[in-house]
Amino acid sequence: MPYVNIRVAGKLSSDQKNQICAGVTKVIAEVANKPESSILIFIDEVEHGNISSGGKLLQKPA
């Protein structure tokens, strides 16, 4: 059973999550030859202030 964890800075809309899940599922099913029903995807939405790049916390987009 393929397991995918996707972390994003900030929030995604339901439509964005649906599109990401559909696309990732399709690619894994085709490349790994796995049934789509066996693919689990977890999306973690992380606040910008909890992510650091280059030693500095990310700033929330304006």
Token pair, residue 58, equals: 């990310």
pLDDT tens across 44-56, in order? 999 999 999 999 9
Q: List the beta bridge partners of residue 40.
A: 3
- The CATH number given to whatever domain includes residue 15 is 3.30.429.10
Helix residue ranges, H only, 1-62: 14-32
What is the extent of the structural domain holding 8? 3-51
The tokens 């929030």 sit on which residue?
A: 11
pLDDT tens across 11-46, in order? 999 999 999 999 999 999 999 999 999 999 999 999
Q: What's the number of domains the chain is made of?
A: 1
Indicate whether 46 belongs to any domain: yes
Indicate whether 25 belongs to any domain: yes
